[in-house]
Amino acid sequence: MSVALITHPACLEHDTGPWHPECADRLRAVLRVLEAEEFLPLLRETAPAATEAELTRVHTLDYVRAILAVRPPPGERTVLDADTLMSEGSAEAALRAAGGAVLAVDAVMEGWARSAFVAARPPGHHAEAARPMGFCLFANAAVATRHAEARWGLRRVAVVDFDVHHGNGTQAIFATEPGLFYASSHQFPCYPGTGGESERGVGNVFNAPLPPGATGAAFRRAWESTLLPALDGFAPELLIVSAGFDAHKADPLAQLRLETADFGWITARLMEAADRHCGGRLVSLLEGGYDIPALAASVALHVRTLLRAGHSTSAN
């Protein structure tokens, strides 16, 4: 079985303006690098629009309808908070990003793909049940998780997050649910200010905060000593990855010092965990990454590792 690549042109129409770091050029660069010959085996699929029912498993109905009603005139933007805004195409882009996450779950559960990468925007892990935050409108990983429960009857779903920013939205949605698991490495202190080690939910939340300037060695230690053992203890039936690449040393929005190779390493470790617990079923969702060359190179290695025959553990 191969790897599904799920995206939609509407995700390029979320127009954040000329100076916003979460811009359409990020996704263009990702899709361009994945056009290389080595990625021909990818199963290329078009993201559907998430339905109201899928979204309201996570978000309040009033919130969903309010976000979808924001349709500024062409060339204008509606500011939701200091970091988050919407253009004429943003609502459709958000629907496709969430819907792509849902399709990715179906792909691995139906078995026509072993894993899936959703190349979509806006990202999702900061969005809360009734609040947009940090460039995010809908909580894509949480929407995917609730779909896995509702359609496939799964009782243990894990989300792991290696974005440089803590996924406060995912954590808040999961925190009281013992059948859900959230693990994150992230810079601390940093936006959004959450993600301390003491934040444990109902014993299902594991945070590994890293200080500014931490390198790949510290990142790997955090996963090897804390987060991966916790994931093994939970033994998920499905593994969902919030794949942010802004911990790269070139990224302008934070101060971790990861190399591109570190993203290959964590991808391989997560694949091994998926093999141990859930038949290799792994869904990866694009989150952050704001230095475009670093983002493209890191995504290429991430997807290359997903494609690697036999789930080799040689990434370094």
Structural domain includes residue 305: yes
Say which of 126, 147, 166, 248 is annotated catalytic.
126
pLDDT digits (tens, 9 = 90+) for 249-284: 999 999 999 999 999 999 999 999 999 999 999 999
Structural domain includes residue 77: yes
pLDDT at 26 over 70: yes
Residue 309 has what pLDDT? Answer: 53
How far apart are alpha carbons 247 and 207 in whole angstroms? 15
Whichever domain contains 145, its CATH number is 3.40.800.20
Task: Name the residue range of residue 20's domain.
Answer: 2-311
Residue recorded with tokens 């100076």: 19
Structural domain includes residue 316: no
Q: How far is CA 184 from the centre of its chain?
A: 11
Q: Which band of pLDDT confidence, cut at 50, 70 and 90, is reported for residue 1?
A: low
**Average pLDDT estimate for 4-9:** 98
pLDDT digits (tens, 9 = 90+) for 32-72: 999 999 999 999 999 999 999 999 999 999 999 999 999 99
The radius of gyration computed from the CA coordinates of the chain, to the nearest angstrom, equals 17
Q: What is the pTM of this model?
A: 0.97
**Percentage of the chain modeled with pLDDT above 70:** 97
pLDDT at 209 over 70: yes
Q: What is the tally of structural domains in the chain?
A: 1
- Pairing of the two strands 85-86 and 78-79: antiparallel
How far apart are alpha carbons 92 and 246 in whole angstroms? 25
pLDDT at 315 over 60: no
Catalytic annotation present for 126: yes
